[in-house]
A and B are shown apart, each in its own frame.
Chain A
Amino acid sequence: MQKDHNTGGPPGPTGRIRHRKRSSEVSFDASKENGGHLLVDDQNKYKSMWIRLYSSLWMIGGFALIIYMGHLYICAMIVIIQIFMAKELFNLLRKAHEDRRLPGFRLLNWHFFFTVMLFVYGRILSQRLVNTVTSDKFLYQLVSSFIKYHMVTCYFLYIAGFMWFILTLKKKMYKYQFGQYAWTHMILIVVFTQSSFTVANIFEGIFWFLLPASLIVINDIAAYIVGFFFGRTPLIKLSPKKTWEGFIGASIITMISAFMLANFMGRFQWLTCPRKDLSAGWLHCDPGPLFKPETMSLPGWVPPWLPWRDFSIFPVQWHALWLGLFASIIAPFGGFFASGFKRAFKIKDFGDSIPGHGGITDRMDCQMVMAVFAYIYHQSFVVPQSLSVEMILEQILTNLSFEEQQDLYVRLGQIFQERLYGLS
């Protein structure tokens, strides 16, 4: 797949989809001029593109199936993706000969991985876990005691790993071991921040997971196509095949599709309803004011012969515009970061799990930045908007533990008492 770089003439800064070209992007700078026709000439290019297309279709198919199956399965998929990403990244920075002298070191990495997983998913899923097992007394007690001591358990697991690390320090390998320790932490932070936010988003409604992920994919594909036809000016030295034309064209296309995709997705209750517990069945709910269509009439300057006078818009579409803006402008930096990282450490790909695309981390680099943003956006701008008595009550019942609910009730009573006394 690298052969196209060495064929004669000046290949150009044809901006293509990041994921399509990343595995054949040799990580050295090669300044290129434009020459789109080389694609047609090269048989190998067609074969590699066919492989990529094939695996892309399988990924999309698998993905659609999992969306159909539901929240729990999506979370399971994310956990699996996470494990693969961590495995790729752990493998990457490990010098094989030094590890032979340090037998327990790999196990230590996975110990930290397990601790962080327990911590992160315990926090996110604790309330929903409780809601699932309320019917069974014994399970309920088991689950509540786990949740109560969740933080202490995770802390002591971490301390056990910390002590293990210190006791395994070997003379003359100190620097290597400390470096590995730091990289383990960084890898776990990168992998778990984005997946924990993704999982939190999923339980708020699959819409908030599916829309950002789709926008990233659309951005990629649009950047490829626009760059292919119009690409001329290079964008950034880190990724010489990206162009300004591809970037701007993709931004516009992403925002427009965000607007329309939000309308399309907002019609399905399966996607818009939050999931309060860990069940897997069908979902019904009151969609909330964000997903109720509002009718807006076209402004006066639109010519009278246009047949439509009114059109209905979900308020969520305006939020989708902001998501689209972020996806097109900031999320690509996740890709630049990954490119720079690979160039810094002279790696071609993070792994080779996916034929034609490289490893899982290669696919996920922009998604990571987007997932965090989607969660923060949702928490800051969407949740406060949908406030009404029923909404707040639901949030209280979903997100607060039993004792916290009691506490809230007692405090509310006190505040009301004070007001009554103040007035009387």
Chain B
Amino acid sequence: MDQSTSGTTTPRIRHRKRSSEVPAEVVKSNGVQLLVNDQNKYRSMWTRIHSSLWMVLGLVCVLYLGHLYIWAMVVVIQIFMARELFNLLRPANEDRRLPGFWLLNWHFFFTAMLFVYGRILSQQLVYTGASDKLFYKLTSVFVKYQMVICYFLYIAGFVWFILSLKKKMYKYQFGQYAWTHMILIVVFTQSSFTVANIFEGLFWFLLPAALIAVNDVAAYFFGFFFGKTPLIKLSPKKTWEGFIGASVATVISAFLLANVLGRYQWLTCPRKGLTTGWLRCDPDPLFKPEIYSFPDWVPQWFPWKEFSVLPVQWHALCLGLFASIIAPFGGFFASGFKRAFKIKDFGDSIPGHGGITDRMDCQILRNLNFGEQQALYMKLGQIFHERQFGHS
């Protein structure tokens, strides 16, 4: 709507503008005042704020409830993402001639879910213990043969696909098959890493997610007030000023947020097993405060002589750097994708924001980074004494 009026570049948060971003090429110059004039703009911004608040509230609720509920929320988000993406690339008329094809996609979805969560579940089940005899036996059998079961489910889908190939529709069907695989990879890689992170401690899920949100909001505000130079042709409303300002803001808030979040055991303790009760644990050395004193050049009148820093805050700096520099590329990818396939939004589940995929594209890159750092840390933290091993 605003693009067709005088051509102004108002750089705003990626998610705020995506649903009204029409994928046409328009060259813009600066002119911030147009925001104020447009009544529609206010109404759409109000819708977005409204649904943003509900999303934040819902997230806080689920966080309070705990790890298992967050896992359930991730699964639900995944199902919606997959549905949006499956719907997107399917020309409706061709599917009327291929009745089982839609079902095949969901078969592969189910198989991928069994495979990915089976692996995570098997680790957690070990800790849960033999509470109920029959249930435990069934699940341990499933866990033992999980790979074979998932493989045969996949092969069943593969054979079904081949048997359903129809003359003159081969190219379409092969294309759909490839897209199904790509969609499932994109959706499941990030959600499986998210769930793995959750069980390591809610901190490692909440901090990266919060950093992305902070980055978005900061990019909007910096762009709004200072935006002048366009950043990338793919998203014409992004600016360099917004980008750099947001990076600085994100790194600083990563440092501060890590301090705040690291004080709560509910967030920092890893969850072993599938229980839902309260968590207590000996906090990891990452979350124990260390005292640093200010260097000598700080003036005498400065009231604080020392300050305490949680070691995890240094890690948070790296996360903040990644969130501000690389994660936005997830947003550019999605913009390019929508432009390539002439789609306005991935879906319309969230009023004012588009679909779930629009919200999640930056989160994808975020979570992948963290899993690695944590695994490394765990491995590095162990000490081995030669003598113990020799004198067994």
A complexed with B? yes
- A residues contacting B by CB (< 8 A) are 29, 148-149, 151-152, 155, 159, 162-163, 166-167, 169, 171, 174-175, 177-178, 182-183, 185-186, 189, 236-238, 330, 333, 336-337, 340-341, 343-345, 369, 372-373, 376-377, 379-381, 384, 401-407, 409
State how many angstroms separate the Cβ of A419 from the closest Cβ of chain B: 15
Kindly state the separation between the CA atoms of A174 and B376 in the bound complex, as whole angstroms: 37
Kindly state the separation between the CA atoms of A177 and B337 in the bound complex, as whole angstroms: 10
Which residues of B (159-190) have their CB < 8 Å from a CB of A? Answer: 159, 162-163, 165, 167, 170-171, 173-174, 178-179, 181-182, 185
Q: List 16 A-B contacts (CB under 8 A).
A: A148-B379, A155-B368, A163-B326, A171-B25, A174-B339, A178-B336, A185-B182, A185-B185, A186-B182, A189-B185, A237-B167, A333-B159, A340-B174, A380-B145, A407-B382, A409-B388
The answer, yes or no, to whether B304 is at the interface (CB within 8 Å) is no
> Are A148 and B376 CB-contacts (below 8 A) given A155-B369, A330-B155, A340-B162?
yes
> Are A403 and B162 CB-contacts (below 8 A) given A159-B326, A380-B145?
no
State how many angstroms separate the Cβ of B28 from the closest Cβ of chain A: 16
Contact present for B340 and A175 (CB under 8 Å): yes
Contact present for B148 and A380 (CB under 8 Å): yes
The answer, yes or no, to whether B341 is at the interface (CB within 8 Å) is yes
Kindly state the separation between the CA atoms of A127 and B353 in the bound complex, as whole angstroms: 47
Interface centre among B167, B372, B376 (most CB of A within 10 A): B372
Question: In the complex, which residue of chain A has the Cβ closest to the Cβ of B341?
Answer: A175
Kindly state the separation between the CA atoms of A388 and B27 in the bound complex, as whole angstroms: 72
Question: In the complex, which residue of chain B has the Cβ closest to the Cβ of A334?
Answer: B158
- The one of B144, B368, B384 that contacts A384, using a Cβ cutoff of 8 Å: B144
- The one of A152, A175, A404, A409 that contacts B389, using a Cβ cutoff of 8 Å: A409
- The one of B25, B179, B326, B365 that contacts A182, using a Cβ cutoff of 8 Å: B179
The answer, yes or no, to whether B380 is at the interface (CB within 8 Å) is yes
Q: For residue A29, which residues in chain B have a CB less than 8 angstroms away from its CB? A: 167
Question: In the complex, which residue of chain A has the Cβ closest to the Cβ of B368?
Answer: A155
State how many angstroms separate the Cβ of B118 from the closest Cβ of chain A: 13
Interface centre among A162, A344, A376 (most CB of B within 10 A): A344
- The one of B151, B162, B384, B392 that contacts A402, using a Cβ cutoff of 8 Å: B384
A-contact bits for B357-374, CB 8 A (1 contact / 0 none): 000000001001100110
Question: In the complex, which residue of chain B has the Cβ closest to the Cβ of A377?
Answer: B148
Question: In the complex, which residue of chain B has the Cβ closest to the Cβ of A381?
Answer: B148
Kindly state the separation between the CA atoms of A148 and B368 in the bound complex, as whole angstroms: 17
7 additional A-B pairs beyond A236-B163, A345-B171, beta carbons within 8 Å, are: A162-B333, A178-B337, A238-B162, A340-B170, A380-B147, A384-B144, A406-B382
A-contact bits for B274-296, CB 8 A (1 contact / 0 none): 00000000000000000000000
- B residues contacting A by CB (< 8 A) are 25, 144-145, 147-148, 151, 155, 158-159, 162-163, 165, 167, 170-171, 173-174, 178-179, 181-182, 185, 232-234, 326, 329, 332-333, 336-337, 339-341, 365, 368-369, 372-373, 375-376, 379-380, 382-384, 388-389, 392
Q: For residue A341, which residues in chain B have a CB less than 8 angstroms away from its CB? A: 170, 174
State how many angstroms separate the Cβ of B338 from the closest Cβ of chain A: 9
- The one of A155, A189, A380, A407 that contacts B372, using a Cβ cutoff of 8 Å: A155
Kindly state the separation between the CA atoms of A405 and B171 in the bound complex, as whole angstroms: 50
Question: In the complex, which residue of chain A has the Cβ closest to the Cβ of B179?
Answer: A182
- The one of A186, A381, A403, A406 that contacts B181, using a Cβ cutoff of 8 Å: A186
Q: For residue B392, which residues in chain A have a CB less than 8 angstroms away from its CB? A: 409
Contact present for B174 and A344 (CB under 8 Å): yes
Q: For residue B171, which residues in chain A have a CB less than 8 angstroms away from its CB? A: 344-345
Kindly state the separation between the CA atoms of A29 and B392 in the bound complex, as whole angstroms: 70
Kindly state the separation between the CA atoms of A163 and B322 in the bound complex, as whole angstroms: 13
- The one of A171, A178, A372 that contacts B151, using a Cβ cutoff of 8 Å: A372
State how many angstroms separate the Cβ of A362 from the closest Cβ of chain B: 17
Contact present for A171 and B233 (CB under 8 Å): yes
Question: In the complex, which residue of chain B has the Cβ closest to the Cβ of A341?
Answer: B174
> Are A152 and B372 CB-contacts (below 8 A) given A159-B326, A171-B25?
yes
> Are A182 and B234 CB-contacts (below 8 A) given A337-B162, A340-B162?
no
Interface centre among B145, B340, B373, B376 (most CB of A within 10 A): B340
Q: For residue A333, which residues in chain B have a CB less than 8 angstroms away from its CB? A: 158-159, 162
Question: In the complex, which residue of chain B has the Cβ closest to the Cβ of A151?
Answer: B372
Contact present for B329 and A162 (CB under 8 Å): yes
Q: For residue B375, which residues in chain A have a CB less than 8 angstroms away from its CB? A: 151
Contact present for B340 and A178 (CB under 8 Å): yes
- The one of B174, B326, B384 that contacts A406, using a Cβ cutoff of 8 Å: B384
Question: In the complex, which residue of chain B has the Cβ closest to the Cβ of A160?
Answer: B326
Kindly state the separation between the CA atoms of A182 and B365 in the bound complex, as whole angstroms: 17
Q: For residue B234, which residues in chain A have a CB less than 8 angstroms away from its CB? A: 166, 169
State how many angstroms separate the Cβ of B21 from the closest Cβ of chain A: 15
State how many angstroms separate the Cβ of A260 from the closest Cβ of chain B: 26
A-B CB proximity, top 10 nearest: A344-B170, A174-B340, A406-B384, A344-B171, A175-B340, A380-B148, A178-B340, A344-B174, A403-B382, A152-B372
